[in-house]
Structure 1
Amino acid sequence: MIGFEGAVLRNGAFDVRADLTVEGPGICAVVGPSGSGKSTLLLALAGFLPVVQGRLSVDGRDITHVASARRPVSVLFQDHNLFAHLSVTDNVSLGLRPDLRLSSDQAAQVRDALHRTGLDGLQGRKPAALSGGQQQRVALARALLRDRPVLLLDEAFGALGPGLRREMLLLVQSVAIERNLTVLMVTHEPEDARTIADHVMFVGEGQAHPPLTVTEFFAEPPPAVAAYLGL
C-alpha cells in the first residue's frame, strides 16, 4: 500500500498535492493532461523530488526522508537509462550490483530475468544493436532484479508502436501478478488502463485525486475526469 498523506510535492516552481492511498498489490494507471503533475508524483515517491509538506509511506513505513537508493521502489523511464558501453547482461546485472561482481546465484538470477523478459540470445549485444522494445525489456529486467515491492512506470512505453506497447503492458501485468507488485503507471493512453490496470488515478492542475476502479473511472467519472476523457 502506498500512502500520500497531506503531501505537497515540488518540481521547480510547480507543486502537486496528494492525500490518498493506492492499494496493492495491483496496477494503478496515472492519467491526466500534460503538465498536470503525473511524473512529479512518481519522481517524488522515488525520492528524486522533495516533499515540502506531509509524508509518503509504503506498507506503513514512512519514506518521506529516506534516500532514493534505499526506498522500496524501482523506476522505469521512457528513455531506458541503459549504458551504451555495456552488454545486455551487464546492464541488467546493475540491478543487483553496481560493480558487476556477481556471485553464481546472482548470475543465475540475471539469466532468469533475461529469459522471463524475452531476451534470450541477446545477452552480449550493446543497446545500440537493440530495437526500442528490446531496450525496454532490458530496463524492465533490471528493474525487476532490484526486487522492490513498488514499480513506477513513467510513460515507459510511450515511444513504442501499438502492438509492441500492448505486449510490454501484458508483460508488466504478468510480472506484477507473479511478484505481488504494486505498480504506478503514468500514461497518456486511457486504453492502457483498460488493458491492465485495476485502478486509475486522475491528476489535474496539480491535484492528485484518489484512485477509482477502472469501471468507475470510465463509467461514472467525476466532472474533471469526464472533461479529460471528452465525455
Structure 2
Amino acid sequence: MDKGLALRDVTITKEGAPLLSVNHDIAPGEVLTVMGPSGVGKSTLLAFITGTLAPDFMATGEVWLDGHNITHAASHQRRVGILFQDDLLFPHLSVGANLAFGLQPGGSAAQRKAKIAEALDEVGLSGFADRDPATLSGGQKARVALMRMLLSEPCGLLLDEPFSRLDAALRAQVRDMVFDRAKVRQLPVLMVTHDADDAQAAGGVIVTLGG
C-alpha cells in the first residue's frame, strides 16, 4: 500500500510477556479503531507509532506511512499527528499563537496569519486568534487543538481517546468534526478507545485487545 498507514506484524512485549499484536493497513480517509480496557496497551501502540515507546517495552514489526518505513525514524520526522484526552493548548499563548506553533516553517508573516485565519474559519472560530485559551469552552479548545495538529500537515492521524472528557452532546459534535476533517484531507486514522459509541461513529474496522 503506497498511501495510508500500515502496521506490519507489530508485536509489543513488556518484560518478555506479549502485550499486543496488530497487523493492519489503514487506507487514506479510513479509521481503524483499537478497543480494550485500560492497561491493555492501546496508548503503548500509539507510542510505538510516534517513536516514543518507553524503554521497558520491546516492539517488533514495522510502521509504514505513505510508502515510507518510519519504524526507526526520529519522532519529529514521522509526519504523524496525535490528539489526546487533554487539549494541551499552551496557556501563555493566544489561540492564534497556539495555531502558529503547528505551522510548518516558512512563508511570510501575512501568509502565516492568513493560514491561521483560514483554519479558525474552518471550525467556526473566526475572529478568535487573539483570544486567551482560558476563555474558551471545552468544545472550542478541542477545535483549536485539532486545527493546530492539522496545520502541521501530518500524513496520518492518531487519536488517543480525545473525546472522553467531553459531555455526550459535545462529544458527538467534536467527534464528527475530527472524522470529517480527516476524511477531507484523506488522512488514515488510528483511534484507541474503550468507548463503543466512539468506535461505532468511526465507521471502520474495530480491533479488540484483551478480549
Task: Report the TM-score, using the length of structure 1 for normalisation.
Answer: 0.80
Map 1:7-86 to 2 at 5 A. Answer: 7-9=10-12, 16-25=19-28, 26-49=30-53, 52-86=59-93
- Distance in structure 2 (CA, Å) of the matches to 1:15 and 1:67: 25
2:190 aligns to what SS in structure 1? strand
Query: For residue 7 of structure 2, what is the aligned residue in structure 1?
Result: 4
- Distance in structure 2 (CA, Å) of the matches to 1:36 and 1:81: 24
- Is the contact made by 1:11 and 1:40 (CA closer than 8 Å) also made in structure 2? no
- Distance in structure 2 (CA, Å) of the matches to 1:80 and 1:197: 24
Map 1:104-183 to 2 at 5 A. Answer: 104-183=110-189
Task: Encode CA deviations 1:70-125: one digit per residue, 9 max, x unaligned.
Answer: 10210111111211100001101111158x98532222221111111222232212
Measure how far apart 1:13 and its partner are.
8.4
- Is the contact made by 1:155 and 1:187 (CA closer than 8 Å) also made in structure 2? yes
- Distance in structure 1 (CA, Å) of the matches to 2:93 and 2:108: 15
1:94 aligns to what SS in structure 2? helix
1:170 aligns to what SS in structure 2? helix
Measure how far apart 1:131 and its partner are.
1.4
Task: State percent identity of aligned pairs.
Answer: 40
- Is the contact made by 1:10 and 1:49 (CA closer than 8 Å) also made in structure 2? no
2:89 aligns to what SS in structure 1? coil
- Distance in structure 2 (CA, Å) of the matches to 1:167 and 1:19: 30
Gaps of 5+ in 2: none
Gaps of 5+ in 1: 205-223, 225-231
**Given the alignment of the two structures, is residue 90 of structure 1 paired with residue 97 of structure 2, yes or no?**
yes
Measure how far apart 1:12 and its partner are.
8.4
1:78 aligns to what SS in structure 2? coil
CA RMSD of aligned residues (A): 2.3
Task: Encode CA deviations 1:102-154: one digit per residue, 9 max, x unaligned.
Answer: 53222222111111122223221222111121111111010111111211111
Task: Report the TM-score, using the length of structure 2 for normalisation.
Answer: 0.87
Measure how far apart 1:7 and its partner are.
2.5
- Is the contact made by 1:95 and 1:143 (CA closer than 8 Å) also made in structure 2? yes
| Count of residues paired in the alignment | 204
Query: For residue 190 of structure 1, what is the aligned residue in structure 2?
Result: 196
Task: Encode CA deviations 1:16-40: one digit per residue, 9 max, x unaligned.
Answer: 4334123212112221111111111
- Distance in structure 1 (CA, Å) of the matches to 2:59 and 2:23: 16
Closer/same/farther in 2, CA of residues 53 and 125 from structure 1, 3 Å limit: same
